[in-house]
């Protein structure tokens, strides 16, 4: 499967407070959260972003809090994927668990401009910057995490496992 | 090949003789925790699993500490989800207001986390418990949901960086200064996905409060866990609290480390992390031109009795600068009571500080001490990201309780020596 979208570009160390400020965490409704996505990194972002867009960023994206509200807000805003030089550990885990596609790529962020269109081949992990005409390889996803994606997230993966145990 | 303390704890809980860095394991956890922000999502996901019950009513902790006492209708609704779930499934460790404290101070204090435990928490500062010689790490709500149902969680065994702290600490230098210095050295992703093992003669002499502070901020370097091998000081702390057996693990002499860092602590001064990253550290003494509007002394990082004593030592017989507001937050009800009995609360009130009930409150910009546009705070908390304590154009400086208290009196960032200490 391939996904294609317009990119919004962010820098290094985009923390979870920038992705969804704690002042909005008195709710866990994904639609409410999406209204404030990336607000403290770019206050106009929630009004500018369109469903199908893609976020690209520098290193350590999603550092800070464990709040799952961060990938939820991104997903609920209709953002198809996040591509970064690297991800903070808990954000990385949460994204897989809730089914937000994320990819680690070294040079794409530095070589892309905001508004470029990119295409991600979800199976091969190749990313094409269509505007610049340049291809990138993403860091391979560990096989266990591929299983999680195939199952449709951690809840579905666990449900299957629990059913197997019942059968036993 | 020898194993690190982290590898040993993970191996034991995965039912394996040994594990090594990079391996993905499924392991049994001793405790799962979530708070009023993360538990509502965890509970929603838990219900999707279709299981009849939680895996163990005694091994789940639900701690409504972030937006409590309930600050508005929305946060009250979130807290009610925890309460209803706790009563429905007879969760033993649910803490109502009046018993609740900041989770990472409360659970060790109650003896709910012990040496050798494997703990996951839907809160990034779960790594605090490494101070007890437990392996503890922050996860998201969905991971917590699955663990509440199965008692298990998947882990990638982390590589470990060993930190050796030696030399004699300078006056007013504590665990907070050492961890800020360390994060300043390695950066906010300097220990990404890794365990930070804190060792050396300085750690051997350090009280539990300082050890909690250091492990607490391991996440600020991107680490999966901070950990300290348990010793006599740990034993003294846990033996009066534990209601079940516990086990001390130690790293083998030939354990494999990805890196070893050594710090001569006699050269480390009181440190401050400047906006907007915990790694942006400078000696406090170089920041005397920075005027402040608010001081916060508290949080899971520095809201323990020892931290309040340190602040009280500075504030005794002094007044907070007229243009500054100081908010002091004992992390638990027990700490509050102990501080009251020791006369610390009286010192704070005489100094014109306000004492808050236990809450995470201002640390995350939740409530009980929010910054206006352009305002600046010095806080003993753990993060100084943009907008962390309020308006996106406010600023947070991170420090020890001693530096925060001295700054409150001076009306600008300063060190205790400036007050004649």
Q: Are residues B35 and B100 in the same domain?
A: yes
Could B154 and A144 be called an inter-chain contact, meaning their C-beta atoms sit closer than 8 Å? yes
Band the pLDDT of A125: cuts 50, 70, 90: confident
| Residue range of the domain that includes B29 | 5-262
Position A167 scores a pLDDT of 62
Q: Are residues B155 and B300 in the same domain?
A: no
> How much is the mean pLDDT over chain A?
94
Q: List phi, psi (to 5°) of B193.
A: 65, 5
Chain B residues closer than 8 Å to A28 by CB: 37, 40-41, 44, 78
Could A63 and B149 be called an inter-chain contact, meaning their C-beta atoms sit closer than 8 Å? no
Is A149 touching B (CB cutoff 8 A)? no
Could A64 and B277 be called an inter-chain contact, meaning their C-beta atoms sit closer than 8 Å? no
Chain A residues closer than 8 Å to B188 by CB: 13, 60, 63
Q: Are residues B198 and B304 in the same domain?
A: no
**For residue A61, what is the nearest residue in chain B, using CA coordinates?**
B189
Of B123, B150, B365, nearest to A23 by CB-CB distance is: B365
Band the pLDDT of A163: cuts 50, 70, 90: confident
Could A68 and B51 be called an inter-chain contact, meaning their C-beta atoms sit closer than 8 Å? no
Q: What's B413's domain CATH number?
A: 3.30.499.10
Vertex B39, ends B141 and B76: CA angle to 5°?
145
Of B44, B67, B154, nearest to A26 by CB-CB distance is: B67
Band the pLDDT of A168: cuts 50, 70, 90: low
**For residue B67, what is the nearest residue in chain A, using CA coordinates?**
A26
Do B409 and B374 meet the contact criterion of CB atoms below 8 Å apart? no
Q: Are residues B285 and B240 in the same domain?
A: no
Query: In which residue ranges of chain B is pLDDT below 50?
Result: none
B359-415 tens-digit pLDDT? 999 999 999 999 999 999 999 999 999 999 999 999 999 999 999 999 999 999 999
Q: Are residues B274 and B257 in the same domain?
A: no
Give dist(CA B219, CA B138) in Å, integer: 9
Does A143 score more than 60 pLDDT? yes
Number of domains present in the structure of chain B: 2
Could B75 and A26 be called an inter-chain contact, meaning their C-beta atoms sit closer than 8 Å? yes
**ipTM, two decimals:** 0.95
Q: Are residues B47 and B183 in the same domain?
A: yes
Query: Among B262, B291, B310, which residue terminates a domain?
Result: B262
Query: Among B262, B288, B318, which residue terminates a domain?
Result: B262
Position B118 scores a pLDDT of 98
Do B258 and B160 meet the contact criterion of CB atoms below 8 Å apart? yes
Position A124 scores a pLDDT of 87
Chain A residues closer than 8 Å to B55 by CB: none
Do B384 and B276 meet the contact criterion of CB atoms below 8 Å apart? yes
Q: Are residues B211 and B283 in the same domain?
A: no
Does A86 score more than 90 pLDDT? yes
Residue B295 host element (H or E): strand B294-297
Alpha helices in B125-273 (DSSP H): 141-150, 175-186, 201-205, 208-216, 232-239
């Amino acid at each position: 499967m391939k996904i294609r979208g317009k990119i919004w570009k962010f820098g290094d160390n985009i923390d979870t407070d920038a992705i969804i400020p704690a002042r909005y965490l008195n709710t866990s409704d994904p639609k409410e959260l999406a209204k404030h996505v990336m607000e403290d990194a770019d206050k106009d972002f929630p009004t500018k972003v369109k469903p199908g867009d893609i976020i690209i960023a520098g290193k350590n994206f999603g550092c800070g809090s464990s709040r799952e509200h961060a990938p939820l807000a991104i997903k609920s805003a209709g953002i198809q994927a996040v591509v970064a030089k690297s991800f903070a550990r808990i954000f990385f885990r949460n994204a897989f668990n809730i089914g937000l596609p994320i990819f680690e790529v070294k040079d794409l962020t530095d070589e892309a401009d905001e508004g470029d269109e990119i295409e991600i081949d979800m199976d091969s992990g190749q990313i094409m910057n269509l505007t610049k005409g340049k291809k990138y390889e993403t860091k391979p996803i560990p096989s266990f995490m591929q299983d999680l994606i195939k199952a449709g997230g951690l809840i579905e993966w666990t449900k299957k496992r629990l059913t197997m145990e019942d059968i036993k | 090949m020898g194993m690190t303390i982290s590898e040993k704890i993970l191996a034991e809980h995965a039912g394996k003789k040994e594990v090594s860095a990079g391996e993905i394991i499924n392991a049994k956890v001793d405790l799962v925790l979530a708070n009023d922000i993360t538990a509502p999502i965890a509970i929603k996901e838990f219900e999707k699993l279709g299981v009849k019950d939680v895996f163990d009513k005694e091994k789940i902790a639900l701690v409504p500490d972030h937006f409590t006492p309930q600050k508005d209708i929305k946060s009250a609704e979130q807290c009610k989800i925890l309460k209803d779930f706790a009563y429905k499934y007879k969760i033993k460790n649910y803490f109502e207001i009046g018993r609740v404290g900041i989770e990472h101070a409360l659970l060790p204090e109650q003896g709910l986390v012990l040496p050798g435990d494997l703990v996951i928490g839907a809160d990034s500062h779960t790594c605090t418990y490494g101070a007890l010689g437990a392996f503890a790490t922050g996860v998201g709500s969905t991971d917590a949901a699955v663990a509440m149902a199965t008692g298990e969680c998947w882990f990638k065994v982390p590589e470990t960086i060993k930190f050796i702290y030696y030399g004699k600490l300078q006056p007013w230098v504590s665990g907070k200064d050492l961890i800020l210095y360390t994060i300043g050295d390695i950066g906010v992703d300097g220990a990404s996905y890794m365990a930070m093992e804190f060792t050396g003669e300085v750690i051997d002499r350090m009280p539990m409060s300082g050890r909690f502070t250091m492990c607490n901020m391991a996440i600020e370097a991107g680490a999966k866990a901070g950990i300290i091998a348990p010793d006599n000081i740990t034993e003294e702390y846990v033996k009066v609290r534990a209601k079940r057996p516990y086990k001390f693990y130690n790293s083998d002499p030939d354990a494999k480390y990805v890196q070893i860092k050594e710090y001569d602590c006699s050269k480390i001064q009181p440190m401050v992390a400047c906006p907007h990253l915990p790694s942006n550290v400078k000696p406090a003494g170089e920041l005397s031109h920075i005027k402040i509007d608010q001081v916060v002394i508290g949080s899971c990082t520095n809201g323990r009795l020892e931290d309040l004593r340190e602040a009280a030592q500075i504030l005794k017989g002094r007044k907070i600068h007229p243009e500054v507001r100081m908010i002091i937050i004992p992390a638990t009800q027990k700490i509050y009571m102990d501080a009251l009995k020791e006369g610390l609360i009286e010192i704070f009130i005489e100094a014109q500080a306000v004492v808050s009930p236990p809450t995470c409150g201002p640390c995350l910009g939740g409530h009980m001490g929010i910054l206006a546009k352009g305002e600046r705070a010095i806080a003993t908390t753990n993060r100084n990201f943009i907008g962390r304590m309020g308006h996106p154009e406010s600023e947070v400086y991170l420090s020890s309780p001693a530096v925060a208290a001295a700054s409150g009196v001076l009306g600008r960032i300063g060190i205790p020596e400036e007050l004649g200490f």
